[in-house]
Structure 1
Amino acid sequence: MGPPVSPVGYDALVARLRRAGCVWAEDEARLLLTAGGGPETLAERVDRRVAGEPLEYLLGWAEFCGERIDVESGVFVPRARTALLVSAAVRVTGPAATVVELCCGSGAISRVLARRLTAPRLLAAVDVDPAAVACARRNLAAVGVPVFAGDLFDPLPAAWRGRLDLVVANAPYVPTAAMVLLPPEARRYESAAALDGGPDGLAVLRRLAAAAPDWLAPGGHLVVEVGRAQVEQFHAVLTEAGLVPSVVRDDVFDATAMMGRCPDDVAGRRYEN
């Protein structure tokens, strides 16, 4: 199938996008031309894209692990590399698992896990940003996952302590000093709170690891994404928290996921019936 027919002109649009630095100019041109809304809307979207606004905000959705995820301005756009986080979570989680996603953003991870896990009990997704919470509620309504507003475990019912089989989170892990090195479309348009992980990038992840043993069931797992250079340091963080660390890499997408397993003699000790 050839490119869509438009008064703007496919070839001219590709050339303009390429001049603006869009690496996948042909794909972006097709998506913009088929997004609907008429010539004026198209022209506005193209101008915004050339100015650096993320394509996903202009379309209103992002593709993630085969799912079309609603996104809106300011909400973290799910990245292709986070597919490794999903596959790592599936690998360590058995059937009928109780699952919570923290720092959920658009809810993309929970949406995919609802399809991939066997008979999962996805109890909740959580985010501290009101815009992300609203977006995640739209994405997760169809799979029946409630979305709570709050910081990490804070909004979860106390009765869930010691009973979670999987806690998954794509928490912010970019060191503050490295924020200036991010692509402009991320740095200028996405929420800094979803990206900035503090001085060493592990400020949120360190709090998450420290709290996780109180919430995980025996043999339960915390699964998170980190940067390649943070593996050794976060390995120590997980160990100090009483979790057993492991790591998986995807060199194609430069992705790193780390798991922390809660040993049977640690998990849930304070919350036995």
Structure 2
Amino acid sequence: MRLTPGTAGEPPSPPPALVARLRAAGCVFAEDEARLLAAAATTPAGLEDLAGRRVAGEPLEHLLGTVEFCGLRIAVGPGVFVPRQRTAALVDRAVDAARRVREGTGRAPVAVDLCCGCGAVGLALATAVDLAALHAADVDPAALPYARRNLAPVGGQVHGGDLFDALPGDLRGRIDVLVVNAPYVPTAALHLLPPEARLHEPRTALDGGGDGLDVHRRVAAGAPAWLVPGGVLLAEVGEEQAPVLAAALTACGLHPHVHEPEEDGATVVTGSRPTT
């Protein structure tokens, strides 16, 4: 969650009783959350409803209908995976890769946001770099309307389905930047997630299988056929998972690189398709 402290021009401080109620429920940023909820409510009854749902553990972003990500306001809603701030590192690497395509070839890159959820990564990428085309895909039908809403301003095309099966066939061998925010929490560790994730976000967006890399292996296996020569796959994983994913990319014929982990522990692994 990313909350911005109150600044000039914002609504007055929320009622102390609401702040105390949220703090008692374990909300670390109780005053900021109370301010946001009060601004979102149109009636006292509406505020009571929002406060009750937040105290019960519903994600703040679901209640507000938006989340800030990479300086953008992203639409989200109940049952949809909320973009994590650490994923900004994945966006940064994807932006660098897209810019290298433009510098090296003189053309705008074709990008795909796979496991797109609400489309936050694709939107951030398309906002930072002029793309020839942006496609996004996810298996979760609840996420697709939000992805379409978020990506419409940048001309992104959203497809429903399982990984590469969802993509138009004419993209095969044409993707320059394949960014993948796939689930990487090991199944046995799901119970360690905060309740607002476990109870309110889709399991398909969290559960990465035995070691957390089941989906990543499937992506790695299919990527060489979909990437242009020199194209790159980018994925976010945990630091301890990075060497395992790098080995999987190598086994699939891609040249891997593990980037230095961020302070929050998120690590980006890339795999490039050989040019010859």
Q: Give the TM-score normalised by structure 1.
A: 0.92
Conserved 8 A contact 1:101-1:167: yes
Q: SS state of the match for residue 185, structure 2? A: coil
Uncovered stretches (5+) of structure 1, i.e. residues with no partner:
266-273
Identify the residue that residue 223 of structure 2 maps to in structure 1: 212
Partner of 2:47: 42
Contact 2:122 2:134 in 1 (8 A): no
The one of 2, 20, 27 equivalent to 2:25 is 20
Are the counterparts in 1 of residues 70 and 124 from structure 2 also a CA contact under 8 Å?
yes
Does the C-alpha gap of structure 1 residues 3 and 217 become closer, same or farther in structure 2, counting only changes over 3 Å?
A: closer
State the shift of 1:256 in Å. 1.0
Q: Secondary structure at the match of 1:40?
A: helix
How does 1:50-61 map onto structure 2 within 5 Å?
50-61=55-66
- Give the Cα–Cα distance (whole angstroms) in 2 for the partners of residues 145 and 176 of structure 1: 32
Structure 2 residue runs without a partner (length 5+): 1-7, 103-107
Deviation, 1:220, is: 0.5
1:80 aligns with 2:91: no
- What is the SS of the residue equivalent to 1:221? strand
Give 2:94's aligned amino acid: A
Structure 1 position 112 matched with structure 2 position 119: no
Check whether the contact 2:178–2:227 (CA below 8 A) recurs between aligned residues: yes
TM-score relative to the length of structure 2: 0.91
Aligned to 1:70: 75
Distance 1:15 1:201, change over 3 A: same
Give the counterpart letter for 1:136 in structure 2. A
The alignment covers a number of residue pairs equal to 262
Report what 2:5 is aligned to. Answer: none
Aligned to 1:4: 11
The answer to whether residue 263 in structure 2 is matched with residue 252 in structure 1 is: yes
Q: What's the CA shift string for 1:71-101, capped at 9, x where partnerless?
A: 0111100010000000011112232110011
| Matching residue's letter, 2:212 | G
Go from structure 1 to structure 2 and tell me whether the alpha carbon gap of 1:130 and 1:143 turns closer, same or farther (over 3 Å shift).
same
1:91-110 residue pairs with structure 2 within 5 A? 91-93=96-98, 94-95=101-102, 96-110=108-122
In structure 2, distance between residues paired with 1:105 and 1:47? 27
Q: Percent identity?
A: 57
CA offset at residue 251 of structure 1? 3.4
Residue of structure 2 equivalent to 1:223: 234
